[in-house]
Amino acid sequence: MQIPRLHPDTIEEIKQRADIVDVVSEHVLLRKRGKDFVGLCPFHDEKSPSFTVSQTKQMYYCFGCQAGGNAIKFLMDLGKRSFAEVVLDLARRYQVSVQTLEPEQRQELQRQLSLREQLYEVLASTAQFYQHALRQSQGQKASQYLRSNRQFKEETIQQFGLGYAPAGWETLYRYLVEDRHYPVQLVEKAGLIKSRKEGGSYYDVFRDRLMIPIRDVQGRVIAFGGRTLTDEQPKYLNSPETELFSKGKTLFALDLAKTGISQLDRAVVVEGYFDAIALHAAGITNAVASLGTALSLEQVRLILRYTESKQLILNFDADKAGTNAAERAIGEIADLAYKGEVQLKILNLPNGKDADEYLHTHTPEEYGELLANAPLWLDWQIQQIIKDRDLRQASDFQQIMQQMVKLLKRIESSEIRKSYVAYCAQILSLGDAGLVRLREENLETQLVGGTASVKRQQKPLTANVKNYLSRQSPALPPDRSLLEQAEALLLRIYLHCPEQRQPIIEELETRNLEFSLSHHRFLWRQILESTREQVDLISNLQDIYLELSEEIEFVSHVFHLNEKSQFDDMLRTSQGIQAAIACMERVFREKRYRYFLELWQETDPNVEPERWQSYYQAFYTEKLRLQELDRQRRFTLTDLL
């Protein structure tokens, strides 16, 4: 369901009714301490309480892990749920009338919410029906298949809610529509029945199939997968797309795997339902199944909510079909892997087996060892390139090198690319250490393309110029972490020190500076918008960011003050602003310095003496300004943060 933007009045009313102490105390044992409450933080392991809840401010904050926010944010982080899901659940719980920013959408939103609740109910009833049928005489064949062929125990069958769809054409239809009196249109919208082309009657979608409930992250049944017990095709049949179920946005068993993924800090993605079930039955509880589709960005984001290392292991067969499945499954996440945003690994099990088959003859420990040794996706790709090829054959050698270059060009991180250039060079050298450097140069030349030849045509710098540059080059610019600290400090002062807001704006405008990091730049735009509207700045910004669950983790810390930052920010704000602004300007000036220096180096003074002189003057001016900025930074930013 596409939920419209909720009206601020609705969000504010929910915040007023949902007392944070009541909400948090359902999950954390709180004890009164002064005017606040304290307890053990649910977001990290600790033995002494550093998690505080303020009833007067309706906020929580952990001095250990810096988690903080209001009641909505608490439930979002605790359950890894979206802003809309939490708000709508709280609205139902506290009987708050839901409004959207567009009045004409309110009635439709209420209708959709009502429809979803009804769909959840009819699907839950269907799951119970299938589970009951499995234990009747008609379900004996399905039950035998689970116990004998799949070797599942009763506890596993119950844990996953496995069932059986009877063979009749209208068995489920009669149960739901005639016996339980669900509206036929509702059952059809749940994807459980279809209308016949003639006669206006209906028939069951699933017949004589072993049934596997597909649940959402909260454990609610949203669809089914059915495996045939005969030669009927398709072998596996999924529910159609519905109001609740989207194949590309769902991962099978994530409701059961999310805790294991968080604890082990990695997720195992398999292709089939029974692979995931078998892994859980063997105690490998961080496994999910992709429902046979290429992994979408939505599915990956679901998984990455639960793992800090961003480690995904794709486990598919080692045969040709499995290799193709792995390449197909990667789908949209390839770019994330090339950027290093996902630590993607590939596990191909030996002898063409899937995870379920492998565990019939091997122990969970042996499977775990294979997981631990699974190669990174880039290493796996390189192995696929050289597989069944002979590097001693000139044609194979050339094709392998071309494919390696194509792969290396897609790696965005220069450090990672440099490492893989060395790795590929070793492979191409066939153990001859004397050839490694030559192979590296060959790869680097092809990666650079035509730029190397251009550089060779440039007039070389004289020794005097080189010596001059080595003396005149400024210190290296502040690294990203220091810049991040500087920008965060400036934002924190702006939010918590209203008297410093106008001076900060004037400084930025006077020096023509902008925030360099995208998450800080976005927050600054929101600050300026909110400031014009004369609203409670921090509260309004937090409401905006709650709807952007992926972005808030990068800026949430600026909304809160721990004991150290309270002291430093409040007592030394002027110095903090000066240091932060100087750091931000230094990054800006450093870019200009290097830009003009490069232009000066590339200009021939004999051909274009005036341009050569102007570029020299420009980069020298920037160098002097860099030196001045360094003098302004009389104390380090880390002392303020």
Q: How far is CA 448 from the centre of its chain?
A: 32
Task: Measure the CA–CA gap between 140 and 558, rounded to whole angstroms.
Answer: 60
pLDDT for the residue 110: 59
Predicted confidence band at 533 (pLDDT cuts at 50, 70, 90)? low
Residues 6+ apart with CB under 8 A from 531: 501, 537
Count of positions (residues) in the chain: 641
pLDDT for the residue 363: 95
Say whether 512 sits in a helix, a strand or coil. coil
For the stretch 185-199, pLDDT in tens is 999 999 999 999 877
Instruction: Identify which has the larger pLDDT, 312 or 304.
Output: 312
Instruction: Identify which has the larger pLDDT, 351 or 136.
Output: 136
pLDDT for the residue 476: 35
Reply yes or no on whether the pLDDT at 506 is more than 70.
Answer: yes
Q: Is the dihedral of CA 426, 432, 437, 442 positive or negative?
A: negative
Among 156-160, 359-363, 393-397, 456-460, whose mean pLDDT is lowest?
Answer: 456-460
Give the chain's domains with CATH numbers: 8-101 (3.90.580.10), 107-244 (3.90.980.10), 249-374 (3.40.1360.10), 384-454 (no CATH), 480-639 (no CATH)
The pair of structure tokens assigned to 273 is 């339902």
Reply yes or no on whether the pLDDT at 250 is more than 50.
Answer: yes
Residue 368 · residue 349 · CB < 8 Å: no
For the stretch 316-330, pLDDT in tens is 765 555 566 667 777
Reply yes or no on whether the pLDDT at 175 is more than 80.
Answer: yes
pLDDT for the residue 562: 55
CA atoms within 13 A on the CB side of 133: 25
The pair of structure tokens assigned to 497 is 């020190």
Residue 377 · residue 345 · CB < 8 Å: yes
Residue 460: asked if its preceding bond is cis (omega within 30°), the reply is no
Predicted confidence band at 3 (pLDDT cuts at 50, 70, 90)? low
Reply yes or no on whether the pLDDT at 495 is more than 80.
Answer: yes
Residue 199 · residue 214 · CB < 8 Å: no
Average pLDDT over residues 270-285: 95
Residue 554 · residue 583 · CB < 8 Å: no
Average pLDDT value for the chain: 81
Instruction: Identify which has the larger pLDDT, 100 or 360.
Output: 360
pLDDT for the residue 475: 39
Reply yes or no on whether the pLDDT at 334 is more than 80.
Answer: yes
Max avg pLDDT among 18-32, 102-116, 393-407, 573-587: 393-407
Instruction: Identify which has the larger pLDDT, 116 or 121.
Output: 121
Radius of gyration, CA atoms only, the chain: 31
pLDDT for the residue 452: 36
Which residue from 442, 408, 582, 435 is spatially nearest to 507, judged by alpha carbons?
582
Instruction: Identify which has the larger pLDDT, 596 or 268.
Output: 268
